[in-house]
Amino acid sequence: MELRDEVRREMALLRERIPDVDGCVACSVDGLTIASDLTDGAEQTGALSSALLALSRRMTGMAGKGAFEETLISGTNGYAACYAAGPKIVLTVLARPGTNLGLLRLEGRKTAANVAAITSRISIPQ
């Protein structure tokens, strides 16, 4: 099975566990989309996720808060959560208002860990 397919399968499992998820994007730290289940804006979301990952890693390092794990953005129409999925991948999960944030954080981290494991087995396409 190809990297994109395995990552999309993880995204589908996340949606099963959290019905309030609108979509996901997994991209490289360079902003190249690896897999997405968004209907619109996957490339832009990937590029912004990459930039947010870089800023978040820098902030946690500068503040002495250890290794970056996640960034949660709360808006009037829902949430965007970005997770480090290993050293080379960022997973962004978009969710609707009213989403159980504890569950989102728990399942988002689990999915990011699964994506990291997949990408350690299968090389990222260039």
Around 37, how many Cα atoms within 13 Å sit in the side-chain half-sphere?
Answer: 20
pTM of the predicted model as reported, rounded to 2 decimal places: 0.92
Phi, psi of 99 (to 5 degrees): -60, 140
**Residue 56 and residue 49: Cα distance in Å, rounded?**
10
pLDDT 10s digits, 86-96: 999 999 999 99
Ordered domains of the chain (ranges, CATH):
3-120 (3.30.450.30)
Average pLDDT, the chain: 93
Which 8-state DSSP code applies to residue 123?
A: P
pLDDT 10s digits, 99-116: 999 999 999 999 999 999
Between helices 101-121 and 3-17, what is the axis angle to 10°?
A: 160
Please state the rounded mean pLDDT for residues 6-19: 96
Q: Is there a contact between 34 and 24 (Cβ–Cβ < 8 Å)?
A: no
